[in-house]
Amino acid sequence: MTGAGATTNVTGRPHVVIVGGGLAGLAAAAALTDRECRVTVLESRRRCGGRAASFEDPVSGGLVDACQHVAMGCCTNFLDLCRWGGLDDALRRDRTLWFIGPDGDRSRCTPSRSLPAPLHLAPLLLGMRHFSMVEKFSLARGMLRLARHRPTDRADAATALEWLRAAAQPDRVIRLFWQPVIESALGESIDLVSVAAARKVAVDGFLAHRDAADLIVPTIPLGTLLGERLVARLEARRAAVRTGAAVTAIEHDGHDAVTAVRLGAEVVPCDAVVLAVPWKAAGRLVPDVVGSGDDRLAGSPITAVHLWFDRDVVDVPHAVLVGRVSQWVFRGEPGAGHCQVVISASRGLLQGDRRALVDQVVAEIREVLPHAREATLREAKVVTDPTAVLSVRPGVEAFRPAARTGVANLVLAGDWTATGWPSTMEGAIRSGRIAAQEVGRALGIDVPGPAADLRRSLLVRLLVGG
């Protein structure tokens, strides 16, 4: 059987099998299918997209995302993959961030297009009506201090909350800005995430560039965007995408090379494997490679509360609800009366009482959205993914494995691998591209790596480096 660098098919092109059709696997497929590789994606579910998934709406029968996903302007690899896939028309860019304060007051916060970064944030900060001038000044100072913080081993043992308190950030600023922003960006609570992860949000997501904080919102269900349109694009580029194809084993030749993957009795020979599955599944398939990693990696839950009213109730594109159980609200398909409330780090939320959660969320929605007060709730659905994202706690980076493994033609991908990014769509896509580049290295093919970050202005480089 073949090892790294050999070919197993009549076309003479090496055959790369990608296990897992989430964003990491699809990004790896896109990078490799453009090179001289024969690519097969094997996905165990009925549809590709992984955690970026949709379900069938009980009211309309159409697809609804299990949980609204958003990217940011700083997610250059997400945007690049969408461009490659011809998906740009299905993305909306919200430059204005909407905040609804504890008293229901609305703030329209838009970064400047003309001021250089990081000064572009001034109108965004000044626009937050729920903060006094003193609080706005504290927040700006805290953000700059966080950006200038140089992570060290000792400092990295701190959580974001410990660091913010030590930096004398006022409680109200922590509760009404840092908490919703960091928790929604990282999917984990501020008393658990590392200060290094929080710094990445402040720098890459806000300070680094005028477009960094733009919200990128898919306007069609993820099941269609990724599961249909991106897959169709891959197939048009001659990648084979098989769904309902659960890989049960990865075969070695006894000389440290992978030779095939197995789906029950079926054997699929290959020259290289990208294993793009979550860490627990990876640990089961290649325990000698991922091994005990799963004990040191923990997941964090995200909950989406779907509400169907008898009319459309959300009169803004999106809103961050600060100081409430509900964290973000997004409007659904126009005319469907559907909206979605997203709550990150939802561990132990209202003691797991779904009825109480729906009641609380509906009460909050009626408080902040005038149209909801008169509307009748027709249906509600709570969707929680208990391991939605990797919990980026202090010290976790040491346990996130690199794409390259001890087996030359087996590489890892997934939002949990070492990308330098939190566990997000962007992190997953970066991991897929890094993995594709590693496969190229093993097979002697030139494959480009991840897309470049947004270019930092001189002022940003002077302030925070990079």
Ligand X SMILES: Cc1cc2nc3c(=O)[nH]c(=O)nc-3n(C[C@H](O)[C@H](O)[C@H](O)COP(=O)(O)OP(=O)(O)OC[C@H]3O[C@@H](n4cnc5c(N)ncnc54)[C@H](O)[C@@H]3O)c2cc1C
For ligand X, the binding residues (CB under 6 A) are 19-25, 42-45, 50-52, 67, 69-71, 246-247, 276-278, 281, 302, 385, 388-389, 414-415, 423-426, 428
Nearest distance from C-beta of residue 214 to ligand X, angstroms = 14
* Two tokens, residue 224: 């269609």
Decide whether 71 or 258 has the Cβ nearer to ligand X: 71
Decide whether 21 or 205 has the Cβ nearer to ligand X: 21
How distant, in Å, are the alpha carbons of 306, 329, 332 from that of 362?
10, 11, 16
Dist CA 247 CA 267 (whole Å): 10
Decide whether 29 or 173 has the Cβ nearer to ligand X: 29
Decide whether 78 or 163 has the Cβ nearer to ligand X: 78
Nearest distance from C-beta of residue 4 to ligand X, angstroms = 22
Residue type, 345: A
Nearest distance from C-beta of residue 26 to ligand X, angstroms = 7
Dist CA 410 CA 254 (whole Å): 14
Nearest distance from C-beta of residue 12 to ligand X, angstroms = 27
Pick the closest to residue 239 from 251, 249, 230, 250 (CA basis): 230
399 Cα distance to chain centroid: 19
CB count in 10 Å sphere of residue 359? 13
Nearest distance from C-beta of residue 112 to ligand X, angstroms = 25
Dist CA 136 CA 276 (whole Å): 42
Q: Could you tell me the sign of the dihedral formed by the alpha carbons of 80, 85, 88, 90, in that order?
A: negative
Nearest distance from C-beta of residue 442 to ligand X, angstroms = 21
Decide whether 415 or 438 has the Cβ nearer to ligand X: 415
Nearest distance from C-beta of residue 417 to ligand X, angstroms = 8
Pick the closest to residue 275 from 300, 297, 254, 258 (CA basis): 258
Decide whether 29 or 67 has the Cβ nearer to ligand X: 67
Decide whether 20 or 73 has the Cβ nearer to ligand X: 20
Strand order in the sheet with 377-390: 106-109, 97-100, 318-321, 328-331, 338-344, 299-309, 377-390
